[in-house]
Every structure is written in C-alpha cells, then in structure tokens.
Structure 1
C-alpha cells in the first residue's frame, strides 16, 4: 500500500504566484502561459506518491502556440456560424430598431452560445489529455487516447438531459463522462478502468436536491402566504445550501469514483477527503483573501488622497510620478490578491485531497513500463481561448 502526501508551502508558492502574475500584467497577458506552467511545475513536484514526486513537463511556448492556433480556428468557426445566421436574417452586429429585431438578435445570441458549447466540452477533454501527456511519475508518463469530439457530443447530451430533469440525472452525467475519460487514460502501458454504478452517486447529490426542494417550497409558501419574507428567507437558505451541496457532491463523488478506479486490472485506489474540511477552507480562506485584499486596496486609496494633494501643488511632474507609483502599487495589489487565493484556498484543498489518497497493491506498479509519447496531445489551446483552462 502506498500513501500520497503534499509537500508544498504557502511562502514559495505565494512568491512564485506574485512574480508570475506581475510578469503576466506587464506583458499584457502573454506571460500567463509560462506563469501557469511554472505554477503547475511547483504543485506537481509537491505531490508525492510514496517517495516519488510527480513531474510536469509542459512548456509555456507550446501552450502559447496552441492558443494562437485555437484562436484562428475559433475565429473561422464563429465566422461560419455568423454567416449562416446572416443568411437567415439574423445578426449580432446591428443595433435593433424594433422589438421584433431585438427578439431576433437575442435568438441569434443564444444560437451563437449554443454553437460554442461543443467547443467548450471539446476543450475540457483536450486540456485533460494535455496535462496527462505532460505528467510523469516514477519516470513513467501518463496519457490519454483521442476522443475529444466523442466527449463533447456526450457532454452536450448529458447536460441537456440533466437540465431537462431539473438536475435529477446529474449523477448519470458525472459517472458517464468520468468513465469515458478514465477508460481512455493510461499510466505507462497500463490502462485505467472506471467501475461502479452511476446510481450510487444519488446519495452524494442529496444536499443539492434538498436545496432545490427548499427553494421550490419557499417560493410556493411565499405565494400561498403572500409573504415576501418567507420567500426571501427560503431563498437565502436554499442558495447557501445549494452552494454547499455542490461542494459536498463533488467531494463525495470524487471519493466514490476514486474507490472504483482500477489500473491494469489489479491496482486500486482510495480517497477520503472531508466535505467539512473543503467547505471550511473555501469559506475561511475566501474570507481571509477578501479581508487582506480589502485592507490593501483601502490603504492604497487612502495613500492616493494623501499624496495627490501636495503633488498637485508641486506641478504636473509630481502628479505624473505619483500617479505612476500608484499604478505600480495597484498592479502589485492585484497580483497579490490573486496569489492569496492560490495559497489560501486552492493549495490547501489540493493538499487535503492528495493527503487522503492511497494506492492499493502498489507493488504491481514496478511492472508497468513506459508508453510511447502521445502525438496530437495539444497544449490546451481551446481551453485557454475559451477561458476554461484557468484551473491548475
């Protein structure tokens, strides 16, 4: 049996996040591909399975080139969609002059959004495939088979089914999509397999269902009793419960799906993350980030008013220098705020989850051999272009 643990610290990651965020701002966003790569390298290297750390081998330049290629393809795709809409008299680029034109323009907007949805799901699969292809452990690389379009079509169908059933089929969606990706994932020459049953995830989703029932019951009670207070109270309770329920569902679904993952037909896994730990980290860490950020920005605002009055009396040159210094400090504060979220929220959650993972029959890992490099595992171009690749 092999236990995993996370060895990352707040200090080094915070320093790395601030520096890379500043470079990203200075380069008008271009450095973000290298920034994400450096942060991933740190986090991957902090995850240890036994005595062996993971290794991330992706590069910033391949992510940047993949992004440029995706932008070109996305522009052509959306251009074709707009040409088709224009053929049927629908367009997004003219100001509506009548209510009918406003309605048709809204219809065209929703069609455009729906046309992009398959690309978002396509990007999610390709992003995961890229990260797998660029991850190594014990000198052996992970990998995923091609299947992005198959995943996109399945994800679209499952989301439609989930929305049509008001969330009842969410467990089916979660299980089937995870199984599709897991069954196409490899570690060296050994293949993963997702076992289990989708109906077992109903228990994990119970808080989501109860929150939705609370919102519905509160709305009906408010109508019957003609009381806005009852409806508002039920709405507040229901929304908070729903948000906590989403976190609880993801944690418990992860536990179940991990317990039924099999590698090479004989290596098993277990994970025991606690919902209370994750929720408290999200709440307390989020409050800490907001408090520190608010104090920093409040201090900068106060300093601005204090400095600008004498600077105005000294002339335009002093005003320019003071404004330049204030702009630099403001940019630094923005970089610090995002970095705080990384070290106070994201890293603690990763550390908690990783620390609960156990590999059963780990001796069999020594029999797994290297696999060939995955050709066509692109650098998350669509994920970055569609802003679904921002997560670590």
Structure 2
C-alpha cells in the first residue's frame, strides 16, 4: 500500500484549554439552572471532534444546542407519558393480581432497558448526522427499534449463559450499528465473526469462574476461601477492561467502507492506567474540601450552626454557613465535570485516536456528499434518560 493511501490519526487538543472550557460550561450550566447544558455539550463536542484529525483533516461537529433543547423537551413529554402509563399498569397488576408490589418496581426497571437501547441508537444516529470529515457527512439508517429488540434478545442469551455469550452480544450489536452507518455514499461493513472476540474474553471467564467458586466455598465450607476471591475478582475487573479495549481493536480492524479500512492498536494497560489513576486523582481532589468542611464543622460549637439556621436564618454566621455549603455542594459537581474531562475522557480520546490509522484513502475520491438528515428529537431521549451517549 502506498504512503498516500495511509492516513494516521492525530489528536491536537490540549488539556488546559479543555478544562477551561469545561469549567465555563459547568458554571454557565449552574447559573442557568441546567438550561445551558445543551449548548455546553455542543461546545464540548466541537472541541473533541476538532481535536481528532485523520490524515491532518479535523472532524467537524455541526450540532446545535437549540435543536438539542427542543428535542429534550419533546422527549421528556413522550417519556413521561409512556413511563406513567406503563408504571401504573405494572403497579395495578402487581397489587391486584400478584400481591407483590416489589415486582412492579423490578419490571419497571427492566422495562427501561429497551427504552435505553432505543435512545442510545437514536443519539448515535444524531451525532453521526452532525459529523463531517473533509466536508463529507456521516449518517445512520433508521433502526432504533430493531436495535432495542436485539439488545433485549442478546441480553437474555447472555444472562442465561452467565455471561459466557457476552462476546456474541458485543459483536452482533456492533455489526447492527456499523452496517447501518454511512460516510457520504459509502456504507460501512462490519466483517468477521463473533468468535474473534473469544480469546480476549477468556481471562474474564476464567477469573470470574474462580472468584465465584471461591465465594461459594467460603459460604458453604471454607470461610478462608473468601480471600482467594479478591485476586481473582481484581483479575476479572482488569479482564473486562482488557476485553473492552481488545474488542474495539479487533472489530475496528474488521470494518470496511468501500476501499477504506482501519488499523487499530489501543493498549489495554494504558487504558486501565488512565481510568484507574484518573478516578483515584478525582477522588482525592474532591475529598479534600469535604474533609476541610468536616474539620471546620467539628471545631464549631456543638449545634451552633444548626441552631442559628433554625432560629435566626438572617444571622451573618448562619448566612455564611449556608453560602459556604451551597458553594461547596454545587462546586463539587462543577469540579467533577472539569476533572473527568481533563483526567479521563480527554486522555482516552487521545489514546484511541492516536492508535488509529485509516488506510485505502485513495477511495475517498469516489465518495459523494450525503443529504443532511433531519433530527427532530436530536438525541433528546438520551438526554432525558441521562445516559450520556459520548460527550
């Protein structure tokens, strides 16, 4: 393959600029009681998209905060009506026929799974429809209902096999999404079979089986065996991270779009290090103001602050205590968002981007523009369920 047919992916973003943007977004979202969230998420997506540069050409995100806000309001109305009717029916059946109110809550949570899957697919379709590279739009064919059904079906198979068929679910769902994704007039295709993921998943099965066996032995005959479950449990957790990274690599390398293909080399150890140290740093940084507040509270006269708040809320000391509490409470949420972007999300994006190479770029000459897709919901259902869906 000639050099001009290979396009390494670079990541041009800087941590400082992202954290400053995340801080502004967090403060504006707080000041507007959450309304700015939709415009803030748009600005963050534009930062991330523009930082990823396949072959030196950055991705573009063309989404709009106003359409997200309108889609969110629409989704909230529909979701509230749907959940209200379903929950009332479940509660009626549980109380009238089964005399088991707890069953209604369980079924209500289970009933959210297809809604969650539907929302994830629609959110991904919206993001792709608002993403461009070299001026060419991405897109995704309709299929949210089919995806939700497949999530439920493969989920049942996975549960019935105690997790043994997780790779099959991973592959089948990714293939369903990929085969409905377009770059301009090119349609993506997920090649391979789900069995390519089995070697990456084997450590999870082995460690998980030994951890479960150790817990069973500890509960029945040998209590000291519970300690053996600890290393196997840690091994299973790392195995899940490793499987996640390797599954992305293996499936990415089996994707094609006309003459385009991918070379992916993400490192599971590096991903685990980014996530582990990132969460550790966030926990330590956020714990410091809580420890300081607890220390100050411990030094205050017993019951003094509560008494002032209850009997004389206009007292300067009471107002100061209330103001400090509100600043600390809401400040922790803003600080968490800033730190999560700077210490976890951005390093992961950078690693995955820099470990990716697009090959066969000579096929881009034959790609034609795709019509702009309408997005009346604009990922609003995912926002209403607060399931993220990327940034």
Same fold (TM over 0.5): yes
CA contact (8 A) 1:8 1:46 kept: yes
CA contact (8 A) 1:248 1:275 kept: yes
**In structure 1, C-alpha distance between the alignment counterparts of 2:240 and 2:317, rounded to whole Å:** 52
The 1:87/1:317 distance shift into structure 2, 3 A limit, reads closer
Structure 1 residue ranges (4+ consecutive) displaced by more than 6 angstroms after TM superposition:
304-312
1:70 matched to 2:75? The reply is yes
Question: 1:25: Cα distance to partner?
Answer: 2.4
Question: 1:301: Cα distance to partner?
Answer: 4.5
Question: 1:261: Cα distance to partner?
Answer: 0.3
Q: Match for residue 24 of structure 2?
A: 19
Which sections of structure 2, spanning at least 5 residues, go unmatched?
Answer: 1-5, 309-313
**In structure 2, C-alpha distance between the alignment counterparts of 1:304 and 1:53, rounded to whole Å:** 51
1:48 matched to 2:53? The reply is yes
**In structure 1, C-alpha distance between the alignment counterparts of 2:186 and 2:197, rounded to whole Å:** 27
**In structure 2, C-alpha distance between the alignment counterparts of 1:337 and 1:346, rounded to whole Å:** 12
Question: Alpha carbon RMSD of aligned pairs, Å?
Answer: 2.4
2:202 maps to which of 206, 209, 233: 206
**In structure 2, C-alpha distance between the alignment counterparts of 1:305 and 1:219, rounded to whole Å:** 41
Q: Give the length in aligned residue pairs.
A: 378
Instruction: Tell me the TM-score normalized by structure 1.
Output: 0.89
Question: 1:67: Cα distance to partner?
Answer: 1.3
**In structure 2, C-alpha distance between the alignment counterparts of 1:38 and 1:304, rounded to whole Å:** 39
CA contact (8 A) 1:304 1:326 kept: no
Q: Match for residue 97 of structure 1?
A: none
The 1:287/1:87 distance shift into structure 2, 3 A limit, reads closer
1:291 matched to 2:291? The reply is no
Write out aligned runs for 1:1-392 (5 A): 1-85=6-90, 88=93, 90=95, 101=99, 104-223=100-219, 226-231=221-226, 233-264=227-258, 266-302=259-295, 316-321=315-320, 323-376=322-375, 378-389=377-388, 391-392=390-391
**In structure 1, C-alpha distance between the alignment counterparts of 2:101 and 2:215, rounded to whole Å:** 32
Question: 1:352: Cα distance to partner?
Answer: 0.5
Q: Does the residue aligned with 2:256 lie in a helix, a strand or coil?
A: strand
Question: 1:326: Cα distance to partner?
Answer: 4.8
The 1:295/1:79 distance shift into structure 2, 3 A limit, reads closer
Question: 1:144: Cα distance to partner?
Answer: 0.1
The 1:41/1:219 distance shift into structure 2, 3 A limit, reads same
Which sections of structure 1, spanning at least 5 residues, go unmatched?
Answer: 92-99
The 1:369/1:303 distance shift into structure 2, 3 A limit, reads farther
CA contact (8 A) 2:289 2:328 kept: no
Question: 1:304: Cα distance to partner?
Answer: 6.3
Question: 1:83: Cα distance to partner?
Answer: 4.1
- Residue by residue over 1:249-308, the C-alpha shift from the partner in whole angstroms, topping out at 9 and shown as x without a partner, is 1100001100010012x1111110000000011111211111222223333544667799
The 1:321/1:296 distance shift into structure 2, 3 A limit, reads closer
Question: 1:376: Cα distance to partner?
Answer: 4.1
The 1:66/1:252 distance shift into structure 2, 3 A limit, reads same
- Residue by residue over 1:156-206, the C-alpha shift from the partner in whole angstroms, topping out at 9 and shown as x without a partner, is 100000111111111111111111110100001111000011011101111
The 1:300/1:84 distance shift into structure 2, 3 A limit, reads closer
Q: Does the residue aligned with 2:48 lie in a helix, a strand or coil?
A: helix
Q: Match for residue 311 of structure 2?
A: none
**In structure 2, C-alpha distance between the alignment counterparts of 1:42 and 1:299, rounded to whole Å:** 34
**In structure 2, C-alpha distance between the alignment counterparts of 1:133 and 1:295, rounded to whole Å:** 42
CA contact (8 A) 2:261 2:358 kept: yes
Q: Which moved more, 1:273-282 or 1:75-84?
A: 75-84
